Amino acid sequence: MLVSDQTAAVEAPLIGRARWATLQFGGIRPIFGVMARADVSEPTIHARNGGTAPDGPPAVDPRDALRWGERHQDRWLERWIRSTEDLARLQYSHRMLDAVIDEIDGRQIRVGNQWLIDCASCNYLGLDLDEEIIGAVPEYLSKWGTHPSWSRLLGSPVLYEEIEAKLTHLLGCEDSLLLPTITHIHMSVIPVLAGGGTVFLDSRAHKTIYDGCALAHGRGAAIQRFAHESLDHLEGLLRDRAWRRPGMICIDGVNSMTGNAPDLAAFAALARKYDAILYVDDAHGFGVIGERSPDEACGYGVRGNSIVRHVAESYENIVLVGGFSKAYSSLLAFIACPTPLKQVLKTAAPPYLYSGPSPVASLATVLEGLRVNDVRGDELRAKLHRLTGRVLERMRELGIATPNQSGFPIIEIPLAEADRIDEVGNLLFDRGIYVTMAVYPLVPREEVGFRLQLTSAHTDEQIEHLCTVLGEVAERFKLRPASADDRN
């Protein structure tokens, strides 16, 4: 029996079919050379060049490096190189892309000789710096060594079973399965769930979901894209009886750029109405938002048990994917799913069969992080909520637009003049602020800007310095203005 047939047998009541569609690359321009990196510290340049010379890499034509003359049929590769022209240019010319971090001190980092406040970290709860967690790791290493090299199919340390049991209880789901990364899960689980049916893909879904769908398409699934978070567009596609079953709907939970969450209850209702699986990647919500409670200290809810519980939904027709690499600062990811599907994935998902497991230190920090979450997680989330609120308040004072309407700790700041992204980044770097550069093609050209991620490990003084620098950016550069409603 084929993998897709096994899945269909297990999940037949939940999944569905559709017409063929294609994933297409947009219009793009060629890149002809790689620029030498400028204005970085000698340690950074040396690290980039393998410690050889301080002048940066020589300019090369990537088509020569890829032996272009022998690869005439690799049109996808040519399209990809053209589409990443802006990113490749900034990679070698800007200090906040592909940087070598020489040292950390709390939520500060050192790049060469420059110390910066790290506003690019996704360690939302600050557990990467938690002394209690760090101090617990050596005992695990003493007992298990640094890394069990079995694939999970051959054997798993009991730590996995302990984490899955605690995680399943926290999420309130039927069962859960741990794999090393969310990317592993998307690339292995989406093709299994899709089989020869149809995937309905949000047009702004994370790139790793897109890649998993592309792999499913190569194995026979049809892909139909719907406008970002458009329930009407999605239902129009689902209402057409021609789509091939089984079916699944792929969306993000808390969006990694805007910080907003979809109307999950409405998406779940559509999935149940049309007998499809709703596949949700909540990498940035897990650990931050959770179930609502009369005793909650802030609007994030309590327990950090993800978007499904935050909106008081059940797991009927929902497969939730999340990871510990954000809020829990550990190399591990999970899929929350029915037990029969978990058993199928143990023989159908290549990472379970063939990949090495997460290091023992990561398993240890997950277990200890779950324990800390039970004891003081809500306290950490309350501080994170307060710090995020301060930055959003400052943006309203300055009249700066952001798509963030949720108050979650991801704040995107688009520029009105995208071509000045280099200058904006340089000002931020010089003033000691390290951010995530939102450049094309990571975001559409009209959304080029930078993203702030806040954590409970930031201090009030660091947040106030950030607010001061935002004022300097707003004074010197043209940012997108907030609407009248957003200012109030």
What angle do the packed helices 85-93 and 75-83 form, to 10 degrees?
50
Of the CA atoms within 13 Å of residue 195, those in its CB half-sphere come to 26
Residue 429 CB coordination number (10 Å): 20
CATH architecture, domain 103-129+376-487: Alpha-Beta Complex (3.90)
Q: Which residue has the higher pLDDT, 49 or 103?
A: 103
Of the CA atoms within 13 Å of residue 441, those in its CB half-sphere come to 15
pLDDT, average across residues 296-300: 97
For residue 180 the two structure tokens come to: 């090393």
Largest CA distance in the chain: 66
pLDDT of residue 234: 98
pLDDT of residue 282: 98
pLDDT of residue 80: 64
pLDDT of residue 360: 97
Confidence tier at 444 by pLDDT (50, 70, 90): confident
pLDDT of residue 97: 81
pLDDT of residue 59: 52
| Nearest residue to 105 (alpha-carbon basis) of 87, 122, 118, 119 | 118
Given this structure, which CATH class describes domain 3-20+133-372? Answer: alpha beta
Q: Considering just the CA atoms, what is the radius of gyration of the chain in Å?
A: 23
Q: Which residue has the higher pLDDT, 465 or 442?
A: 465
Q: Which residues, other chains included, contact 258 with Cβ-Cβ below 8 Å and sequence gap of 6+?
A: 403, 404, 410, 412
Q: CA torsion sign, 119 to 123 to 125 to 130?
A: negative
Instruction: Using CB atoms within 10 Å of the CB of residue 237, give its burial: 0 to 12 exposed, 13 to 18 middle, 19+ buried.
Output: buried
Confidence tier at 83 by pLDDT (50, 70, 90): low
| Nearest residue to 291 (alpha-carbon basis) of 313, 324, 322 | 313
Question: What rounded mean pLDDT belongs to the chain?
Answer: 86
Checking if the pLDDT of 45 tops 80, the result is: no
What are the pLDDT digits (tens) for 143-194?
999 998 899 999 999 999 999 999 999 999 999 999 999 999 999 999 999 9
What angle do the packed helices 231-239 and 264-273 form, to 10 degrees?
10
What are the pLDDT digits (tens) for 369-419?
999 999 999 999 999 999 999 999 999 999 999 999 999 999 999 999 988
Q: Are strands 103-105 and 108-111 parallel, antiparallel or unpaired?
A: antiparallel
Give the C-alpha separation, 338 to 430, whole Å: 50
For residue 209 the two structure tokens come to: 């979901």
Confidence tier at 95 by pLDDT (50, 70, 90): confident
For residue 316 the two structure tokens come to: 């009927």
3-class SS of residue 108: strand
Domain chopping of the chain, boundaries: 3-20+133-372, 42-83, 103-129+376-487
Question: What residue type is 475 in one-letter code?
Answer: E
Q: Which residue has the higher pLDDT, 22 or 283?
A: 283
pLDDT of residue 40: 46
Are 164 and 324 a contacting pair, CB within 8 Å? Answer: no
Confidence tier at 86 by pLDDT (50, 70, 90): low
pLDDT of residue 149: 87
Which range has the worst mean pLDDT, 38-52, 168-182, 294-308, 332-346?
A: 38-52
